[in-house]
Amino acid sequence: MSSYLIRGVRVVGAEPTDLLVRDGLVVEAGRGLAAAGAEVVEADGLVALPGLVDLHTHLREPGREDAETVETGSRAAALGGYTAVCAMANTSPVADTAGVVEQVWRLGREAGLVDVQPIGAVTVGLAGERLAELGAMATSAANVRIFSDDGHCVADPRLMRRALEYVKAFDGVIAQHAEEPRLTQGAQMHEGEVSTRLGLTGWPAVAEEAIIARDVLLAEHVGSRLHICHVSTAGSVEVLRHAKERGVRVTAEVTPHHLLLTDERAATYDPVFKVNPPLRTADDVAALRAALADGIIDIVATDHAPHAVEDKECEWGYARPGMVGLETALSVVLDVLGERWDLIADRMSRTPARIAGLTEHGHDPAPGAPATFTLVDPKARRTVDPMDSASRSRNNPYAGLVLPGRIVATFLRGVPTVLDGKAVR
């Protein structure tokens, strides 16, 4: 295995140092290191972060390989600075058996660009009627620890309770897509001033907040772990704050797009801005940013949701919800939070790794740690071009925006997956 000397890098924003990488580990750190035979990476001005971990990625394989595959999504992830992604279960077939999660896990290993950790469905076929084989998925080669019907809410409180009880035995997590379906029938965008003006059916904030309130109480009652996907409203933040003060074992994520974009975008009727949960108001965006900084929201997760052209470039009402996000997430977070490196490392790597139980991830590059990190050029600015992407899909809501930060290199256990800003393979 080759060794690498990373020269002059600022580890999580600290003073410049050199890092020596050998046999998959960071073996030495300090100024003026020399290592015969090591490949030198000049990292003057670059910041090293622990490899990013995405708790919420849609890879679309099996079933919609025209939109994304495990391999193309893995490459997009590596280019975005990620070293691990959790693959959502709403594939076709649904990842609700040991066989399907093992297939996704194996495809991830074959691609070898990031660690692909499958998420198992909570209910058979995501139908919300009976529990899937959670135990069989947990003991499979894929070692599933997170279960989610994402795309759908586990709306039945009795099923939700049983799922929480079931995973408690192996310290699993239920990740809830919080949407009371009877409050969002026919919804097209956030319910508010803009939806009234445009005459589109609204998705009210309370449909999210009501499920989070119910589920934190269920999680408290059962004593189990709950994770809330893509929190999007100021009211949800208040429910989570209350739950955390009570000591409920709940964690929560926010997406880059909910940190940056508002429901005003729907006024363009460009379906690239259609997403579930929908883009909210500027007040919600401000509350989400504050909650991410103060830890009420634990992590950033992309909800990378690639869609084929025919599913997305059509009338607003027919377009599928969702947007891509792996290759732009860090730039959006840098834009929103500024160069608060320790906070970024925490929200995008250490904490998501901990929630997912990915023990090889989330470690700052230091002697003895796995050489699983990413190198960022914080001074670079780029204009987002949806065509310049490793993803198979082009539904990118940031097209034309100028965003800070560029991923220069990504290392997974000592092996570069990205060098000079390009995927190694």
Closest by Cα among 179, 256, 165, 254 to 211: 179
Q: Which of 96, 115, 284, 303 is catalytic?
A: 303
* 265 vs 301: CA distance, rounded Å: 21
Q: Which is nearer to Zn ion, 90 or 97 (CB)?
A: 90
Say if residues 18 and 30 touch (Cβ distance below 8 Å): yes
Q: Which is nearer to Zn ion, 96 or 150 (CB)?
A: 150
Q: Which is nearer to Zn ion, 126 or 239 (CB)?
A: 126
191 in contact with Zn ion (CB under 5 A):
no
Q: Which two tokens stand for residue 277?
A: 């949960």
CB of 277 to Zn ion, least distance (A): 7
Active-site annotation holds for 303: yes
Q: Which is nearer to Zn ion, 180 or 339 (CB)?
A: 180
Q: Is the peptide bond before 62 cis (omega within 30 degrees of 0)?
A: yes
Tokens 């860090």 belong to: 330
Query: How far is residue 264 from each of residues 75, 164, 261, 289, 367, measured CA to CA in Å?
Result: 32, 37, 8, 18, 48
392 in contact with Zn ion (CB under 5 A):
no
Closest by Cα among 82, 89, 83 to 123: 89
* 143 vs 137: CA distance, rounded Å: 7
Closest by Cα among 317, 191, 171 to 249: 171
Taking CB positions, which residue lies at the least distance from Zn ion? 177
The piece of 131-139, 142-150, 253-261, 400-408 that touches Zn ion (CB under 5 A) is 142-150
Q: Cα 45 from chain centroid?
A: 27
CB of 147 to Zn ion, least distance (A): 14
| 3-state secondary structure at position 344 | helix
CB of 424 to Zn ion, least distance (A): 31
Q: Which is nearer to Zn ion, 10 or 274 (CB)?
A: 274
Say if residues 176 and 227 touch (Cβ distance below 8 Å): yes
CB of 109 to Zn ion, least distance (A): 26
CB of 96 to Zn ion, least distance (A): 16
The piece of 171-179, 312-320, 389-397, 408-416 that touches Zn ion (CB under 5 A) is 171-179
Q: Which is nearer to Zn ion, 288 or 334 (CB)?
A: 288
Please report which residue ranges of 59-156 form alpha helices under DSSP H. Answer: 70-79, 98-111, 134-138
208 in contact with Zn ion (CB under 5 A):
no
Beta-bridge partners for 226: 174, 250
149 in contact with Zn ion (CB under 5 A):
no
CB of 153 to Zn ion, least distance (A): 9
Q: Which is nearer to Zn ion, 98 or 250 (CB)?
A: 250
CB of 14 to Zn ion, least distance (A): 36
Beta-bridge partners for 423: 418
Contact pick of 150, 191, 311, 346 for Zn ion (by CB under 5 A): 150
Q: Which amino acid is at 284?
A: D
Query: How far is residue 165 from each of residues 56, 146, 158, 159, measured CA to CA in Å?
Result: 23, 14, 11, 10
Q: Under 8 Å CB-to-CB from 125, ≥6 apart: which residues?
A: 94, 96
177 in contact with Zn ion (CB under 5 A):
yes
Query: x/- string (CB under 5 A) for Zn ion, residues 275-294?
Result: --------------------
Closest by Cα among 117, 237, 224 to 171: 224
Give the binding-site size for Zn ion (rule: CB under 5 A).
3
Q: Which is nearer to Zn ion, 71 or 149 (CB)?
A: 149
The piece of 19-27, 146-154, 294-302, 339-347 that touches Zn ion (CB under 5 A) is 146-154
Burial of 89 (0-12, 13-18, 19+ CB in 10 A): buried
304 in contact with Zn ion (CB under 5 A):
no
311 in contact with Zn ion (CB under 5 A):
no
Helix (H) or strand (E) holding 120: none
The piece of 10-18, 155-163, 225-233, 318-326 that touches Zn ion (CB under 5 A) is 225-233
257 in contact with Zn ion (CB under 5 A):
no
The piece of 219-227, 228-236, 288-296, 350-358 that touches Zn ion (CB under 5 A) is 228-236
CB of 232 to Zn ion, least distance (A): 10
CB of 19 to Zn ion, least distance (A): 37
Query: How far is residue 362 from each of residues 114, 217, 358, 391, measured CA to CA in Å?
Result: 13, 30, 8, 24
* 147 vs 390: CA distance, rounded Å: 27
The piece of 139-147, 223-231, 339-347, 405-413 that touches Zn ion (CB under 5 A) is 223-231
Q: Which is nearer to Zn ion, 150 or 377 (CB)?
A: 150
Catalytic site positions: 303
Binding site for Zn ion (CB under 5 A): 150, 177, 229
